[in-house]
Amino acid sequence: MWTADEIAHLCYEHYRINLPKQGKPEPNREWTLLAAVVKIQPIADQTWDSPDKPVRVTKEVVSMGTGTKCIGRSKMRKSGDILNDSHAEVIARRSFQRYLLHQLHLVAALKQDSIFVPGTQRGLWKLRPDLLFVFFSSHTPCGDASIIPMLECEDQPCCPVRTDWANNPSMEASGNLKPTEDKRKCEGPDSPVTKKMRHEPGTPATEVANGGAHRQSFGNQESGPIPPSVSSSNLTSGELAAVTGMAPGGAKVVDVHRTGAKCVPGEAGDSGMPGVAYHQVGLLRVKPGRGDRTCSMSCSDKVARWNILGCQGALLMHFLEEPIYLSAVVIGKCPYSQEAMQRALIRRCQNVSALPNGFGVQEVKIQQSDLLFEQSRCAVRAKRADSAGRLVPCGAAISWSAVPEQPLDVTANGFPQGATKKGIRSLQARSRISKVELFRSFQKLLSSISEDKWPDSLR
């Protein structure tokens, strides 16, 4: 039907061809992250002469986002005219909501062909049964999914780890322990350059990026990794056993890739202990900010929420008979653990209950592609080799939706790129995927439908 590499290739080509130069990273100096939603639809009039014959499908990118930034708490606005979170996954999802609004307008107001068909209740619609949506991200989501075991044998961090390490409760430190002052610091997403973290003396540096941590030896830039030393005096017997446990092939799990996302205030925190026990897994986290702390949940938490509540949002749900779920999540080549992804997006949510009818934790398919995004941090770093100057995250975010009018939106610091402080309150200084603009699109949809055809929830 489709493969992870096919999805990744389609998204990379769409980025290269359909997105403008404006908002893309400056060559050899900046990097960015990419995410997209792909519509999968079987080709009509197929012959089913053999049960083993694969189903032929069309694959279409319907939304795309790039970005690495997130505004701090002090910059948030009650008016909803600023993008609080411009990480690629969030931009892609908000762009997808814009696409869904357009598709609803087509069928409900214009009576044209759409991805929706009438539901069983008045004024409600549902997704065509032959359609499904795949979410693609060039990187592992920040937060819980980025807490990945690091093997002693790793020459670079892209090989998937298939041990049961990520779900082992002995990995977690007990109690609400506070990290020490000299713990390893993680750089925020709006930082101009990623800091390096040091383990104990004599251990390798790890660089933390928005989608996970990257070993310095990525792409064989070093002769080989130096395994971190772990002091047994700082670990419980269970944690020490986990650290010295063997992965398939006889490799030790010696450490974990760090995430910059911070534990939600008031909840249990990371222990900050050296080695494998540095993080507690399964916790809710907020994206880090440089100086000004953010209020935006990590991308792992947001994707997990979409896997329970759907991607459509509360406004669109007024018109839908059932939520719109992702059928699969595909991750590009990057530091990755299948177990960590399963834990972050599915397993830690299994106890969520008291949901409305039609909602529930989905067993979304999770796969990784072997294709690397050409403007990812790792790819750009490998290209620039010994170039002078720092490698920094791109400050702009690009939104693209499969809509006929103004599909592109380029923003920086939450506002359209080029917006001045003086013009910030004008309509022109609003992103098309900001809360207030999506609400205006919803109002436009509502006004285009006669009141007698409104759903009961809006009467």
Q: How many CB atoms lie within 10 A of CB 169?
A: 10
Question: With contact defined as beta carbons under 8 Å apart, do 122 and 455 qualify?
Answer: yes
Q: How many helices (H) and strands (E) does the chain have?
A: 8, 22
Encoded tokens for 385: 């080799």
Measured between alpha carbons, how far is 407 from 430 in angstroms, rounded to an integer?
14
What's the 3-state SS for 269-329?
Answer: CCCCCCHHHHCCCCCCEECCCCCCCCCCECHHHHHHHHHHHCCCHHHHHCCECCCCCCCEE
Measured between alpha carbons, how far is 147 from 369 in angstroms, rounded to an integer?
19
Specify the DSSP element, H or E, that contains 69.
strand 68-70
Q: Which residue has 């994206």 as its token pair?
A: 287
Question: With contact defined as beta carbons under 8 Å apart, do 219 and 154 qualify?
Answer: no
Measured between alpha carbons, how far is 142 from 301 in angstroms, rounded to an integer?
9
Q: Is 89 a catalytic residue?
A: yes
- The strand pairing partners of 65, in sequence order, are 35, 399
Strand order in the sheet with 148-151: 148-151, 251-257, 246-247
The catalytic position among 30, 89, 321, 437 is 89
Measured between alpha carbons, how far is 130 from 395 in angstroms, rounded to an integer?
39
Q: How many CB atoms lie within 10 A of CB 356?
A: 9
Encoded tokens for 455: 């759903």
Q: How far is CA 84 from CA 144, 190, 197, in A?
A: 20, 12, 27
Measured between alpha carbons, how far is 266 from 250 in angstroms, rounded to an integer?
39
Q: Which residue has 């990525």 as its token pair?
A: 218
Encoded tokens for 276: 């494998």
Distance of CA 342 to the CA centre of its chain: 14
Would you please indicate which residues are annotated as catalytic (active-site) residues? 89
